[in-house]
Amino acid sequence: MANKRPLRILLSGPRGFCAGVDRAIRVVEEAIRRFGAPVYVRHEIVHNRTVVEALEAQGAVFVEELDEVPPDAHVVFSAHGVPKSVPQEAERRHLHYYDATCPLVSKVHREAERHFGDGGPEQRHILMIGHAGHPEVVGTMGQLPPGAVTLVQDAEEAELVQPAPGPLAFITQTTLSVDDTAEIVQVLRTRFPGIEGPKREDICYATTNRQAAVKAVAPDCDLVIVIGSPNSSNSQRLREVAERAGAKRAVLVPRARDLDWTLMDGVETLGLSAGASAPEALVQEMITHLAERYTLGIEERRVTEEDVIFKLPAPLS
């Protein structure tokens, strides 16, 4: 394209895959390598269609429930975690199962169990900060008996929730907005001074780092593009954080082919990030498409380095 106009790109870093996502993908790939296709995966292993389609090409078959899995098959549980009823059902049906739950989500499961205890006098009712219907929330609440956990989705619900009298604790989904969660926690601590919680909210390091990285570029941007799937909680939160941090506009785009190019009208500085379940290849794909239309000047603003690696679960390690 002749006479391409200049475009400044601010790349936020860290961005893209986190250790939990990387581990979950490796679980599926290793299961296929060891046992051959098909390997069944309950729910999307992570919330990204590009990742899901790549694994399908290797022999993964994605299902929503175990009743879609044939007897004696190999099945992987997604990174978001599952209720206790799911592995129990897998055992009942004699399925070979491998748990790809992110270790940081598993940590929240253990916190919930610790607060609940054995149901004795020290048992605490748990308030879970999170989004209704998200598989991580479903999995975490499913660690305990019905009624043991009450979901709180925002500060307004935190102001109104009326748990039964007695000791309380709170836990949080790992992929929430850091700022929104702090506001909700403040409301809960004000209303219930004795409530117990983690030393730090359960929002994972990767979510925290990616939000901080977006905040570092957003004030200088006419538009921020977050690459990620619409059903990805951490990707949606990045878009929200970008707008609140001062970007004139922020959009969530699954990949370059989905971008509405009219959004680029008048954009001189573009911020670019990716949710924790979006591969770096999609970022580079976006840059390639931008380079066809603009003369790019690219600057990366990296707020921290990440070196976290999670081992595969014992049956596959």
| Residue 311 placed within a domain | no
pLDDT in tens, 70-101: 999 999 999 999 999 999 999 999 999 999 99
Among residues 71, 102, 133, the one where a domain terminates is 102
190 and 139 within one domain = yes
Residue 44 annotated in active site: no
| Residue 224 placed within a domain | yes
| Residue 209 placed within a domain | yes
199 and 109 within one domain = yes
Low-confidence ranges of the chain (pLDDT < 70): 1-2, 118-121
Q: What is the DSSP string of the chain?
A: -TTPEEEEEEEEES-S--HHHHHHHHHHHHHHHHH-S-EEEES-SSS-HHHHHHHHHHTEEEESSGGGSPTT-EEEE-TT---THHHHHHHHTT-EEEE---HHHHHHHHHHHHHHTTSSTT--EEEEES-TT-HHHHHHHTTS-TTSEEEE-SHHHHHH--PPSS-EEEEE-TTS-HHHHHHHHHHHHHH-TT-B--SS-S--HHHHHHHHHHHHHGGG-SEEEEES-TT-HHHHHHHHHHHHTT-S-EEEESSGGG--GGGGTT-SEEEEEE-TTS-HHHHHHHHHHHHTTEEEEEEEEE--------PPPGGG-
| Residue 79 placed within a domain | yes
| Residue 168 placed within a domain | yes
Among 30, 44, 111, 136, the one annotated catalytic: 136
Domain range for 193: 104-203
pLDDT in tens, 261-300: 999 999 999 999 999 999 999 999 999 999 999 999 999 9
The domain spanning residue 292 has which CATH number?
A: 3.40.1010.20
Domain count of the chain? Answer: 3
64 and 133 within one domain = no
| Residue 173 placed within a domain | yes
| Residue 317 placed within a domain | no
Supply the pTM of this predicted model.
0.94
Among residues 67, 102, 137, the one where a domain terminates is 102
pLDDT in tens, 298-317: 999 999 999 999 999 988 98
